[in-house]
């Protein structure tokens, strides 16, 4: 298993599961919220998008170096995976993603998602600086053709 796959697995375990919203093909519009789980998942026209977070200090050294993320300081690492309904790689342009984040009570602001392609799978990453205790809000819009979904969730960053 590659380091990227280990990071994805660890992130998904640490950030918990999706909110249990069933997938809907060719949705005109959908919203998923998973405030307690700090992750969200949506399916848009056969493409599954999953977003989860992990505190940057919880990343292992190899993953932090690979993604160029400092484990020092206070930040949340956001991982957005894009797959087909069977968990296989989806083309990098399968969906259009836009993301926003904020450390509450601040207003949402654009969040730049950086594409990372490994073994033919494209994932998107970002970091958000936040000093604990803090609640960080994420909103990710997913579009494919005329179908779209909005994922929104909040992750609490607690002092160690």
* Degrees to nearest 5, angle at CA 88 with 87 and 92: 115
| Closest among 49, 1, 55, 11 to 148, alpha carbons compared | 49
CA distances (Å), 44 to each of 17, 78, 134, in order?
A: 18, 20, 31
Provide the pLDDT confidence category of residue 69 given band limits of 50, 70 and 90: confident
Instruction: Please report the pLDDT score of residue 119 as a whole number.
Output: 84
Residues in the chain: 160
- What pLDDT, in 10s, does the model give residues 104-113? 999 999 999 9
pLDDT at 29: 33
User: CA 32 to CA 18: how far, in whole Å?
Assistant: 9
**In the predicted structure, residue 116 carries a pLDDT above the cut 50:** yes
Q: In 57-113, where does DSSP find H-type helix? A: 61-67
pLDDT digits (tens, 9 = 90+) for 86-104: 999 998 889 999 999 999 9
First to last CA, the chain: 30
List, for residues 9-67, the tens digit of each pLDDT value.
Answer: 333 333 333 333 333 333 333 333 333 358 999 999 999 999 999 998 888 998 888 77
What pLDDT, on the 0 to 100 scale, is given for residue 18?
Answer: 34
**Which pLDDT score is estimated for 160?**
77
- From 156, 158, 148, select the one nearest 96 (Cα to Cα): 148
Average model confidence (pLDDT) for the chain?
A: 80
Mean pLDDT value across residues 123-147 = 95
């Amino acid at each position: 298993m590659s380091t990227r796959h280990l990071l994805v697995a660890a992130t998904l375990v640490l950030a918990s599961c999706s909110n249990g919203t069933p997938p809907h093909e060719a949705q005109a519009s959908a919203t998923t919220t998973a405030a307690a789980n700090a992750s969200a998942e949506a399916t848009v026209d056969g493409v599954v998008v999953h977003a989860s977070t992990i505190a940057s200090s919880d990343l292992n050294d190899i993953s932090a170096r690979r993604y160029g993320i400092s484990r020092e300081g206070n930040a949340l690492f956001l991982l957005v995976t894009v797959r087909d309904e069977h968990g296989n790689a989806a083309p990098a342009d399968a969906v259009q993603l836009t993301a926003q984040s904020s450390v509450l009570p601040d207003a949402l602001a654009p969040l730049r998602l950086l594409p990372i392609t490994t073994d033919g799978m494209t994932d998107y990453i970002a970091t958000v600086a936040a000093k604990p205790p803090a609640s960080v809000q994420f909103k990710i819009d997913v579009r494919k053709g005329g179908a779209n979904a909005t994922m929104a969730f909040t992750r609490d960053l607690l002092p160690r």
